[in-house]
Amino acid sequence: MQTLWFILVAFMLTMYVLLDGFDLGAGIIHLFAARNNTERRMILRAIGPVWDGNEVWLIAAGGTLFFAFPVLYAASFSGFYLPLIIVLWLLMLRGVAIELRSHLQDPTWASFWDGVFFVGSALLTIFFGAALANVIRGVSLDSNGTFFAPLWTNFNPYSNNPGILDWYTILVGIMAVATLTMHGSNYIAVKTVDPLNTRTRFIARNAWIATIVLTILVSIATFTVQPAVAPSFITRPWEFIFPLIALVGLAGIGFFHFRHADLAAFFSSCTFIVGMLASAAASLYPMVLPARNTAYSLTIQNASGSVYGQTVGFVWWIIGILLACIYFIFTYKLFWGKVPAFKAKTEEGY
């Protein structure tokens, strides 16, 4: 049950990155890809019916940790208290920006909320990337399984008391921005027509190149920052399938871009993200939160709840996930297709 819940939590977090990831990417590019209010409304309408539903996967993953790995839940939510509060505010500001932008037909009002949407999306992406990097790098857990991570200390990921931000976590955060910019651009290219489609393709190609470079740098840095990664691949050679999946996805993005196959390029970016996140999860297993002192690391054994709780939770998880999947299939099918240009000045909403 412990291994099963490790896989399920990783699955839900991956689904969040895949789905809300293109929302965040759309927020990052919408000030640059769109040249006028009509095009910005098109980008918002492309994500409008699904953006809030996509965040359900993050909530579900957090709720699942509560009964599947309660020790991890307690340690991470207290230790990462400051960045979690920052993420909460950014999520609220981003949602408010989407909802309030069209409430007044005023260019200054719209521009202000466009800026909030961009800043919220960009900073969220950086913080989510830094959060993943903190988990990979490890935190200063003590013998009681507690820690507190300041926003930064000496920017040295090798120290015994690292902060949320150091050169490694910032590097991963920048890679997250490049990856989700590429991912969001691919999605907007699927949903729009020229000239917005052409500009988003151009952004996606440049973000793809940046992602290739940053993937190489982050991979090298990860092997030096977290010593457990290399032995994991040596003792479990089957893990190499996940970097291979990521490599296939990364190659597919470029291949399909040059053939203007937007949908295939989008699914290729999904493949790349799945491969990268699966590689990170598999290389850390059975750890769920490494410590700088490896003796204090949280694993699926010492961080898990009771077998009874995990078993009952699995039954309800199946019911909940089936309902969620039905909702998502219905919503995406209903709103699939190109987004028409928005012209009516008096209409509110997306």
Q: Quick check: 20 and 273 in contact, CB under 8 A?
A: no
Residue 350 pLDDT greater than 60, yes or no? no
Residue 17 pLDDT greater than 60, yes or no? yes
Q: How confident is the model at residue 344 (pLDDT cuts 50, 70, 90)?
A: very low
244-254 tens-digit pLDDT: 999 999 999 99
**Contacts of residue 22, Cβ cutoff 8 Å, sequence gap at least 6:** 47, 180, 183, 184, 186, 187, 188, 266
Q: Quick check: 187 and 48 in contact, CB under 8 A?
A: no
pLDDT given for residue 343 in this prediction:
53
**Contacts of residue 3, Cβ cutoff 8 Å, sequence gap at least 6:** 285, 286, 300
185-222 tens-digit pLDDT: 999 999 999 899 999 999 999 999 999 999 999 999 99
Phi-psi region of 340 (alpha: psi -120 to 50; beta: other; left: phi over 0): beta
pLDDT given for residue 46 in this prediction:
93
Residue 345 pLDDT greater than 60, yes or no? no
pLDDT given for residue 275 in this prediction:
97
Kind and range of the H or E run holding 190: helix 167-191
Residue 86 pLDDT greater than 80, yes or no? yes
Percent of the chain with pLDDT over 70: 97
Q: Which two tokens stand for residue 101?
A: 């932008």
Percent of the chain with pLDDT over 90: 77
Residue 342 pLDDT greater than 60, yes or no? no
133-166 tens-digit pLDDT: 999 999 999 988 899 888 888 899 998 889 999 9
Residue 339 pLDDT greater than 90, yes or no? no
